[in-house]
């Protein structure tokens, strides 16, 4: 998701973000004829989000090796996109870049935990844990933006917690994977709130992706000898299929997904975006059942817990909109 930020965040303290061409193609007048429905694009984006964990499961590489190459290629793709298509500068100043590098390190930890959960458990457990993002955001966002915690967010958080308990009680053999998935959701809740504030202040998303992916590359590179028995030598491989997965993760699931997100947020509401994004675990779990037959190894209690978490996610935008209107 890897997740990407929702657009309805509160603004951070001004001081923290202070350091922070429209290209007209010759065929621009023909664009309207080939325009794809924004809602179709939105659900395509959610499918891409869900595909991230599926690809992680298909790859035989360890999580640090897979993500190191993903982040490195994503950084290169983002910077090339900025230079060639947008003709904007990459250097933002030492202070701004240091903040992006800090956020990128958190993103790297998020992906290490998420892909680690896929490797030690399965896609369904990883996505169920990641779906608790709303629970963690309900607390990290107020802390980082210095606003009060809303009562309805606490209620939804309790609902999500109940879902976690159902899953943990039923899938005791996957507790490590569930823990890693929950940790990945916590890291995602932190970096998403931080990124929101920078984007509100006018930061270029693709430049942000470039610097953040460089930092993520470094974090995952350091983790390679810790996790992979092949140490740094595991980074050298020639399997064409593995390179295909890495390229898809880097350029489709990261660079393309980020660009599509930015475009969609200009034409649809944050409410609509958040509502659709909550279907990521649904799509992912269905895909895992079809591709890997994971449903055969998961009991009914897991699905009750996952359904509880998804229900909380679907309720969140409704309650959030109602709270905003009535208060």
What is the per-residue DSSP string for 115-168?
A: HHHHHHS-HHHHHHHHTTHHHHHHHHHHHHHT-PPPHHHHHHHHHHHHHHHHHH
Indicate whether 204 belongs to any domain.
yes
Q: For residue range 146-159, what is the model confidence (pLDDT) as tens digits?
A: 778 777 877 888 88
What is the C-alpha separation between 195 and 262, in angstroms, rounded?
Answer: 13
Indicate whether 11 belongs to any domain.
no
CB distance 177 to 188 below 8 Å: no
Confidence grade of residue 210 (pLDDT, cut at 50, 70, 90): very high
What is the C-alpha separation between 253 and 231, in angstroms, rounded?
Answer: 26
How confident is the model at residue 10, as a pLDDT? 38
How confident is the model at residue 111, as a pLDDT? 95
Distance of CA 212 to the CA centre of its chain: 13
Q: For residue range 57-78, what is the model confidence (pLDDT) as tens digits?
A: 999 999 999 999 999 999 999 9
Domain that holds residue 169: 36-326
Indicate whether 6 belongs to any domain.
no
Q: Which residue has the higher pLDDT, 290 or 27?
A: 290
- Minimum mean pLDDT among 31-35, 105-109, 238-242, 308-312: which range? 31-35
Indicate whether 180 belongs to any domain.
yes
Q: What residue has token string 């509502």?
A: 275
Indicate whether 173 belongs to any domain.
yes
What percentage of residues in the chain have a pLDDT greater than 90? 37
| Count of structural domains, the chain | 1
Q: What is the dihedral of CA 97, 103, 105, 107, to 10 degrees?
A: -130
How confident is the model at residue 40, as a pLDDT? 83
Q: Which residues are CB-neighbours of 155 under 8 A, at least 6 positions away?
A: none
How confident is the model at residue 236, as a pLDDT? 93
Confidence grade of residue 52 (pLDDT, cut at 50, 70, 90): very high
Indicate whether 22 belongs to any domain.
no
What is the C-alpha separation between 125 and 154, in angstroms, rounded?
Answer: 23
What percentage of residues in the chain have a pLDDT greater than 70? 85
């Amino acid at each position: 998701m890897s997740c990407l930020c929702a657009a309805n965040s509160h603004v951070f303290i001004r001081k923290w973000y202070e350091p922070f061409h429209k290209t007209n193609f010759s065929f621009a007048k023909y664009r309207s004829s080939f325009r794809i429905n924004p809602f179709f694009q939105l659900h395509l984006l959610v499918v891409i989000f869900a595909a991230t964990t599926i690809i992680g499961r298909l790859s035989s590489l360890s999580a640090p090796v897979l993500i190191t190459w993903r982040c490195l290629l994503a950084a290169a793709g983002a910077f090339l996109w900025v230079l060639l298509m947008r003709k904007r500068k990459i250097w933002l100043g030492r202070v701004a870049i240091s903040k992006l590098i800090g956020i990128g390190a958190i993103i790297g930890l998020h992906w290490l935990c998420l892909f680690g959960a896929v490797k030690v458990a399965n896609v369904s457990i990883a996505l169920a844990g990641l779906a608790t993002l709303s629970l963690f955001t309900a607390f990290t966002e107020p802390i980082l933006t210095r606003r009060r915690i809303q009562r309805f967010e606490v209620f939804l958080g309790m609902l999500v917690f109940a879902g976690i308990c159902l899953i943990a009680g039923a899938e005791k053999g996957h507790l490590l994977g569930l823990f890693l998935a929950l940790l990945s959701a916590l890291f995602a809740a932190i970096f998403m709130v931080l990124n929101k504030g920078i984007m509100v202040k006018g930061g270029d998303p693709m430049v942000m992706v470039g610097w953040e992916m460089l930092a993520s590359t470094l974090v995952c590179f350091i983790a390679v000898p810790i996790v992979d028995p092949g140490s740094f030598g595991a980074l050298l491989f020639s399997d064409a299929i593995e390179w295909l997965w890495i390229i898809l993760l880097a350029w489709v699931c990261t660079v393309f997904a980020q660009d599509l997100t930015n475009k969609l947020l200009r034409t649809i509401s944050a409410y609509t975006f958040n509502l659709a994004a909550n279907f990521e675990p649904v799509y992912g779990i269905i895909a895992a059942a079809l591709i890997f037959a994971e449903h055969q190894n998961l009991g009914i209690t897991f699905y009750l817990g996952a359904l509880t978490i998804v229900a909380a996610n679907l309720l969140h935008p409704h309650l959030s909109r109602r709270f905003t209107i009535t208060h």
